[in-house]
Structure 1
Amino acid sequence: MSSLKNVLYIQTGLGVLANLFLLFFYSFTILGHRPKPMDLMSCQLTFVHILMLLTGGDIWLTNIFELLNIENHIKCKATFYINRVTRGLSMCITCLLSVFQAVTISPSNSLLAKFKHELKKYMIYAFLCIWSLNLSFNSNLIFYVGGFTNVSDTNQMKVTESCVVFQMNYVIRGLFITVTTSRDVFLVAVMLTTSAYMVIILFRHQRQCKHLHSISHLRASPEKRATQTILLLVFFFVVIYWVDFIMSSTSFLVWMYDPVILTIQKFVMNAYPTITPLVHISSDKRIINVLKILQLKSY
């Protein structure tokens, strides 16, 4: 058990450091230049993932609350609410990245082409919508979370060492699972649809370039690199999401606490916010150039 927790600490630390680096990079890019829609979305996703990592493992934020002498009951409600909101935001922003990239690379004769020049305007509306929906959608959950009080109380299930979820009415629990699952399935379906659309466009583009003997130009295309990055992120997200969803639903339905399974679930849940910055860093030429400059200066 202690070795699993150590792995979780290392994973959380790596994820927070990588996301902080990206957050600074995107912040300077946005402030110093005319920001691209993808930079604005990636910056928000990075910020959301930092909060998700800090609250998901019951590690960092818990220690901060203890230093501030904040009551355990309030600490549990705050960390659980922030984590659920950021989890929803991570899914929504990843979905937005997929949709906006599909619009960006769509051919000029397609139906999506007319939205290309107004991406930034639509993006602002989309951000306001998803932040409002996620902040309000998860607000009712704080009534069912609190500090751990009684070991023998079967109406509460531990979700961390010091926090519990109180048992819900079967109707409320069923309604919550139905609404959450419907939202998640819809967003995952949109991601898969736009991903399939982008794969088709890339395949057609590659065939045209081979016919024109200009495959080297295709490899150097920034649009292709950005599309491949988002396709990779969507793939990771869908796989990790369904593993996390199955584990979460099983624990929620059987109402059972197992510290080993809970730690593994946290590791799975933190995998996407840890992988995402590493994918961005390894695929963005601007970031690679910055790292090369920093490496040269260190010698």
Structure 2
Amino acid sequence: MNKLPLMFLKNVYFVQAGIGILANVFLLVFHIITIHQVHKPRPTDITTCHLAFVHIVMLLTTLDILSEDMFSFLTFVNELKCKLVLYVSRVARGLSISTTCLLSIIQVITISPSSFYLSRFKHQLTYYIIIALFSFWCLNLFSNSNIIIYTVVHPNKTNLLNVTKYCSLSSVNSIIMALYIMLILSQNVFFVGLMLLSSMHMVIFLCSHQRKSEYLHSMSISPRSSPAKRATHTVLVLVSFFVIMYCLDIIISSFSIILRKYDQVVLDIQRLVGNVYATVSPLVLISSDKRIIALLHNVIGMLKILTN
């Protein structure tokens, strides 16, 4: 009865994952080459590179073929497979939200005037970015460590909380579960709150820039769209899209928890929604980066010359 929607969701997910992985791999390779070649890369290059890597891991760890076949050549027991795949997936999702938050804060620092408090970090921004990314890894590796303890292979029991087709969370003490939920929720609320605050600052910057542009236009001076303005628009789009998809993911996750039973359709929809940002974000970053656009134009031009 559910075979048709399940097959449809599975096909949609594989298309989504394929597009997302290819886009993120391209973005990752481009920024690795840029960081290696350019003496002083942009502060956002390192963060974007890290975000692309995290999203590749997210998309890979949610593939059914990964959880079933990736470790089949090893002698690991099935439970260890579940623990490993779920742990890596949760860590990657936590890194996605924290890295996106960092990207928005970097843009705020970049566009801020010298009188602004955060402008003091401009001169050593790369150093602080590396420290922040290291802190994010430590935080997420620690906060998701309970997955390693409580994940089990999905048995035919009704008192377990199913999180994938094959893996479940074993019965956990209510106090421990409450503490864990509070930890993850407070962590996510903190990062989303920082995103919203930084977005408000960027909106104020864009409004101020718009007023200046209107003034220049009234003085018959042709205003130009600055790189800072274009980058700010890009980050605002990413942050807004992330917050929308994150809220939708929470709603579906809550529904899944309330059901407390295995429902492949609900889990597949949750998987699709949870990975939309990982698929769309590299496309937004690629389309808004003039360096990548110029590179693609050069490649297309060379192909036209070769084919003629």
TM category (shorter chain) comes to: over 0.9
Provide the C-alpha distance between the structure 2 equivalents of 1:161 and 1:172, rounded to a whole number of angstroms: 24
- Which string of whole-angstrom CA distances, capped at 9 and with x for unpartnered residues, describes residues 207-238 of structure 1? 1132123875442x111111111100001100
The TM-score, its normalising length taken from structure 2, stands at 0.91
Tell me: CA distance 1:254–1:92, structure 2 relative to 1, closer, same or farther (3 Å).
same
Any stretches of 5+ residues in structure 1 without a counterpart?
A: none
Which of these residues, 8, 13, 20, is aligned with residue 15 of structure 1?
20
**1:67 positional shift:** 4.2
The one-letter code sitting in structure 1 at the alignment partner of 2:87 is: Y
Identify the residue that residue 268 of structure 1 maps to in structure 2. 273
Tell me: CA distance 1:72–1:224, structure 2 relative to 1, closer, same or farther (3 Å).
same
- Which string of whole-angstrom CA distances, capped at 9 and with x for unpartnered residues, describes residues 252-298 of structure 1? 24422211010000000010000011001111111111111111222
> Would you say 1:35 and 2:41 are equivalent positions?
yes
Identify the residue that residue 211 of structure 1 maps to in structure 2. 215
Identify the residue that residue 144 of structure 2 maps to in structure 1. 138
The TM-score, its normalising length taken from structure 1, stands at 0.94
> Would you say 1:185 and 2:195 are equivalent positions?
no
Provide the C-alpha distance between the structure 2 equivalents of 1:163 and 1:273, rounded to a whole number of angstroms: 23
Q: Secondary structure at the match of 1:168?
A: coil
Which of these residues, 125, 138, 156, is aligned with residue 160 of structure 2?
156
Tell me: CA distance 1:40–1:288, structure 2 relative to 1, closer, same or farther (3 Å).
same
Provide the C-alpha distance between the structure 2 equivalents of 1:222 and 1:20, rounded to a whole number of angstroms: 25
Q: Secondary structure at the match of 1:66?
A: coil
Q: Which piece of structure 1 moves more, 191-200 or 70-79?
A: 70-79
How many positions carry a matched residue from both structures?
296
Q: Which piece of structure 1 moves more, 31-40 or 52-61?
A: 52-61
Identify the residue that residue 229 of structure 1 maps to in structure 2. 234
> Would you say 1:194 and 2:185 are equivalent positions?
no
> Would you say 1:294 and 2:299 are equivalent positions?
yes
Q: CA RMSD in A?
A: 1.6
**1:177 positional shift:** 1.4
CA contact (8 A) 2:13 2:272 kept: yes
Q: Secondary structure at the match of 2:161?
A: strand
Provide the C-alpha distance between the structure 1 equivalents of 2:31 and 2:270, rounded to a whole number of angstroms: 30
Any stretches of 5+ residues in structure 2 without a counterpart?
A: 1-5
Provide the C-alpha distance between the structure 2 equivalents of 1:272 and 1:45, rounded to a whole number of angstroms: 11
Tell me: CA distance 1:41–1:62, structure 2 relative to 1, closer, same or farther (3 Å).
farther
Provide the C-alpha distance between the structure 1 equivalents of 2:168 and 2:11, rounded to a whole number of angstroms: 23
